[in-house]
Structure 1
Amino acid sequence: MRISPFLVGLLLGVGGVPFLGEPAWGRAAPATVPIPQAVNLDITVPESVSIGSTTAGGTITGSLGTVVVEDHRGSLNPNLWTVTVSATVFVTGAGGSGRTIAASQVAYWSGPATRSTGGGILVPGQLTAAQAVTLGATRVAFRKTAGNGNNTVYWSPTLRVTVPAGVVAGTYYGTVTHSIA
C-alpha cells in the first residue's frame, strides 16, 4: 500500500468579508510516503493546495490538483488497484471549540479520468458533484477493475467544505490522504 497525504488550506473571513491573502504553507506534508509492499504501484498528489476563502456559515469548493496513479507491474494478472481517500479535521490555531471543521463537513468527488495510458477498466469513485461523498469515513476515490499490463491514470478531485456558522475566522488546515492498494 502507498499513502500520499497532502495539506489543504481553507481561509475564513469575519463578518461577511472574506479573508484575502495566501496562507503560509510551513506545514506541508510529503507528496509520497513509500510503503514497501507497493512495488511498482505509485500514487502522487500535490504537496499542498489552498481551496480559497469563504465566511463562517459559507461553502467553499476547490480543486485538489492532479492525482496520478502509475502501475508498472507489467503482466501480473490481474493487476487491479483501488485508491481510497480520507481526511482529518480542519483546524485553525490549536483547534478546539469554534476552531474545528469536522471531516464530515468535507465532501469529495474524483471526477472522471483526465488522462490515462495503458489498458484496463478505470472507474471513478464519484463521477460528478451530485455523487460527492463526505470524508467522515474512508471512501473509494478511483479504481482499476479489470485488465493487466502497465497503466497510468490522472484525475483532478474536488473538495466542497461546508463551514459551520460558529467557527472563528482564520486559516484552517487539514490533510486529505489518498492511499492505493
Structure 2
Amino acid sequence: MRALSTLVGVALSVGVTSSPAIAIASPATPHETAQIRLAQQMLSITVPSAANLGAAFTGTTLSGRLGAVTVEDHRIVNPNTWTATVSATSFRTGTGTPAQTIPNSQVSYWSGPATKSTGGGTLIPGQLTAAQAQSLTVSRTAFRKTAGSGNNTVTWTPTLLVTIPSTAVLGLYTGTITHSVA
C-alpha cells in the first residue's frame, strides 16, 4: 500500500534594504573658496514584491525563481565596490507549529549569472550554479562588485530551493527573503 503525500504550496514576500550616502566636495585647488555640494549618492537594490514558488508534495524539493533582482550604483566614489546579501525567514502556515513550519535551514539560494549589466567592473555571483546553492540559515552573499568605477547596474534572477519536510501539513506557507546591498 502506498502512502499519500501532502501537497504544500509555498509563497513568499520579499524585503529590501539599501545604503544611501551623502558626498561633500572639497576645493579643487588651494586658492579656491571651499564649497560644499551635497549630492545624494545612490546605491540601491530592487526586488520583486512577491513570488509564488508553486506547490510540491511533502518530502520533495520545490525549485522556483524569485524574479529579477537589480543593484544600481550611482555613487561618485572610486572604486565603487559593493556586496549584495540575502537572508530568509522560515516559511509558515497557520499558527506556525512545528508541522506548520519549513525552517530556513530547508531553504537554499543560488544567484545564477548576471542576466544584464551596464557600466563595467568585476561582477561576481554569489552562487553561479545550482550545485553551489547555499542554505539561508545565515545571511549569504548574493552578488558583489569587486572592482571598477562609475555608474553601473547588474541584474540577476535567483532561484530558491525549498525542501518540504515529510511532516509538513497541508497549507500555503509564506516566508520572507530579504536582499540588501552595502
Q: TM-score, normalised by structure 1?
A: 0.82
1:130 is paired with a residue whose SS is helix
Looking at structure 2, the residues matched to 19 and 121 of structure 1 have their Cα atoms a distance apart, in angstroms, of 40
Change (3 A) 1:99 1:156: same
Partner of 1:53: 55
Aligned-pair CA distance for 1:57: 1.1
Looking at structure 1, the residues matched to 107 and 114 of structure 2 have their Cα atoms a distance apart, in angstroms, of 21
1:1-181 matches, cutoff 5 A: 15-16=4-5, 18=7, 32-33=16-17, 36-37=20-21, 39-74=41-76, 76-181=77-182
Larger C-alpha radius of gyration, 1 or 2? 2
1:46 is paired with a residue whose SS is coil
Change (3 A) 1:126 1:34: closer
Deviations 1:21-48 (A, max 9, x none): x97x9xx56x655655484001000000
Q: Answer whether contact 1:56 1:164 (CA < 8 A) is retained.
A: yes
Aligned-pair CA distance for 1:18: 3.8
Deviations 1:95-131 (A, max 9, x none): 0220111101001000000000002100000000000
Can you give the 5+ residue segments of structure 1 that lack an aligned partner in the other structure? 1-14
Looking at structure 1, the residues matched to 107 and 8 of structure 2 have their Cα atoms a distance apart, in angstroms, of 20
What is the percentage of aligned positions where both structures have the same residue?
55
Change (3 A) 1:116 1:138: same
Change (3 A) 1:170 1:159: same
1:98 is paired with a residue whose SS is helix
Looking at structure 1, the residues matched to 146 and 18 of structure 2 have their Cα atoms a distance apart, in angstroms, of 23
Partner of 1:4: none
Looking at structure 1, the residues matched to 98 and 6 of structure 2 have their Cα atoms a distance apart, in angstroms, of 22
Give the AA of the match of 1:166: T
Can you give the 5+ residue segments of structure 2 that lack an aligned partner in the other structure? 23-40
Q: Answer whether contact 2:48 2:67 (CA < 8 A) is retained.
A: yes
Looking at structure 2, the residues matched to 68 and 37 of structure 1 have their Cα atoms a distance apart, in angstroms, of 19
Partner of 1:6: none
Q: Answer whether contact 1:55 1:169 (CA < 8 A) is retained.
A: no
Looking at structure 2, the residues matched to 36 and 127 of structure 1 have their Cα atoms a distance apart, in angstroms, of 28
- Between 32-41 and 45-54, report the one with greater CA deviation: 32-41
Looking at structure 2, the residues matched to 34 and 84 of structure 1 have their Cα atoms a distance apart, in angstroms, of 10
The count of residues paired between Structure 1 and Structure 2 equals 162
Looking at structure 1, the residues matched to 62 and 47 of structure 2 have their Cα atoms a distance apart, in angstroms, of 21
RMSD: 2.3
Partner of 1:10: none
